[in-house]
A and B are shown apart, each in its own frame.
Chain A
Amino acid sequence: MSISRRRFLGWMGAAGAGFAAAGRAHAGSSPRGAANPETLGVLFDATRCIGCRKCEEACNRVNELPPPERPFHDLGVLEKRRRTDARTYTVVNRYTGIEGARGPVYRKIQCNHCLEPACASACFVRAFTKNADGSVTYDESVCVGCRYCMIACPFEIPAYEYDKAFTPRVMKCTFCHPRLVQGLLPGCVEICPAEALTFGRRRDLLRIARSRMAQSPGRYLDHIYGEFEMGGTTWLTISGVPFRAIGMREDLGTTPAPELTKGALGVVPVVAAMWPVLLTGIYAINRRRDRIAREEREAAVAAALARAEAEAKKKLAEALAKADKDKKAAVEREVKKALEEAARARTEAPAPASPEGGGETKSG
């Protein structure tokens, strides 16, 4: 065991004090570069790992996971490339035939407990918590099972209990958070017989890694995997062979996960604020244009009507005037006729009134 219980507890205390201080320093400000300086972590040294699978066994035991298909002392499973799954929080793989390596190289896989966990950023019910000790833990009591965390994790760590119909859970290494709280070391770290796993404060681990590189020139590549990958992880790896050759991606970049989605999330309030303004504006403009068009049409129709009406009136007036004149003329004619008749009657009197004469007078 590389670290004694007493020193470990001392760290925990220091870490607690550090968290509080850091909390005050960073509260309310943008957290860029504010990763908790007291974060704990584990350094995995691939040059030391002997592929004994003891860590797998310990992990299985302390986490009370179901028994494996093949016993842990069966090293035959190393023939195949394995990954974490619903019954396994950690696996050790063997990589052979690597250029420049004497014999096989082993690598342990588990959750890297990222400084900016993609899984936590992706979960829409906040099922993941980045704890103050550095561990990233999962709360099955809220998990919906959308498995977006599995899409998001760049290290392909979370696994799912697809075979459970009613209570499927996401399964992943907890950094033995419950044990850390009790002051115990992570199961895998505790058991490792080759001291391939070193537990400590992340910043100390980075120093340890560098000093190992300095002490044994040529033994290590000059790269601490996890120092910057995806914004940094608390579990770090050093190796004597290219990380690519032991199944670790070297193209992940250094952008932390929340940074990747920040832009898209930032557009949301902009759309929510400006779309209603723009769309209502467009609507109102269209409506107004319609109304003006309608009014103009109505005005045109009204003008046309007025013109037609005026003309009609004029015609009517003319017609009336003409009718009036005709009527007057007729009356005058009749009057004249009547007068003439009367005069004639007077000269021809006494004579009986002719029936035609009466009729004629009446008709006038």
Chain B
Amino acid sequence: MGEGVHSLHEFMLRTESITYILIAAALCGFVFFWRFLSERDEDRDYLGADRPGGEEEGQGGAHH
């Protein structure tokens, strides 16, 4: 009794649960993939490289 999908609710419970797992995996994956993608840029940006922003006016007029 009770196996199979009898309601939209049950169906969505399943699809949504899988979707949430996918989302979590994707968000982590993005971080590493972007790293892989831009790690060889001479002007490496972030994620363990230099600081984002910071040059331009931000730096020049920041303080002192």
Q: Is there a direct interface between A and B, measured as CB atoms under 8 Å apart in the complex?
A: yes
By a beta-carbon cutoff of 8 Å, the part of chain A in contact with chain B is 16, 19-20, 22-32, 34-36, 115-117, 120-121, 126, 130-132, 231, 256-259, 262, 265, 268-269, 272-273, 276-277, 280, 283-284, 287, 290-291, 294
- Are the CB atoms of B56 and A258 closer together than 8 Å? no
**B36 near A: Cβ within 8 Å?**
no
Question: What chain B residues lie within 8 Å of A35 (beta carbons)?
Answer: 6-7
B9:A268 contact, CB within 8 angstroms: no
Q: Among A16, A28, A117, A120, point to the contact of B5 (Cβ < 8 A).
A: A28
21 inter-chain pairs at a CB distance below 8 angstroms, sorted by A residue, are A23-B1, A23-B4, A26-B4, A27-B5, A28-B5, A31-B8, A34-B7, A36-B6, A121-B12, A132-B1, A256-B8, A258-B8, A258-B12, A265-B12, A269-B19, A272-B26, A272-B27, A273-B23, A280-B30, A283-B45, A290-B56
- Tell me which residues from 1 to 58 in chain B have a Cβ below 8 Å from any Cβ of chain A: 1-13, 16, 19, 22-23, 26-27, 30, 34, 38, 43, 45, 52, 55-56
Q: Which residues of B contact A277 (CB under 8 A)?
A: 30
Chain B positions within 8 Å of A, measured between CB atoms, are 1-13, 16, 19, 22-23, 26-27, 30, 34, 38, 43, 45, 52, 55-56
State the CA gap A27–B7 with chains docked (Å).
Answer: 11
Q: Could you say which residues of chain A place their CB within 8 Å of the CB of B12?
A: 121, 258, 262, 265
Residues of A within 8 A of B38 (CB): 284
Given contacts A276-B27, A276-B30, A287-B45, contact A23 B8 (CB under 8 A): no
Inter-subunit contact A131/B9 (CB<8 Å): no
B11 touches A16 (CB 8 A): no
Could you tell me the distance in whole angstroms from the C-beta of B58 to the nearest C-beta in chain A? 10
Q: Which B residues lie within 8 Å of A131 (CB)?
A: 2
Q: For B7, give its contact among A16, A24, A116, A265 (CB under 8 Å).
A: A116
A277: nearest chain-B partner, CB-CB: B30
Q: Apart from A27-B5, A272-B26, what 8 extra A-B contacts exist at CB < 8 Å? A: A31-B7, A116-B7, A116-B8, A258-B8, A258-B12, A268-B23, A269-B22, A284-B38
A268 to B23: give the CA distance in the assembly, Å: 9
With the chains together, A280 CA to B16 CA distance in Å?
26
- B1 → chain A closest CB, angstroms: 5
Among all A-B residue pairs, the 5 with the closest Cβ atoms: A23-B4, A27-B4, A23-B3, A272-B23, A36-B6
Contacts of B13 in A (CB 8 A): 126
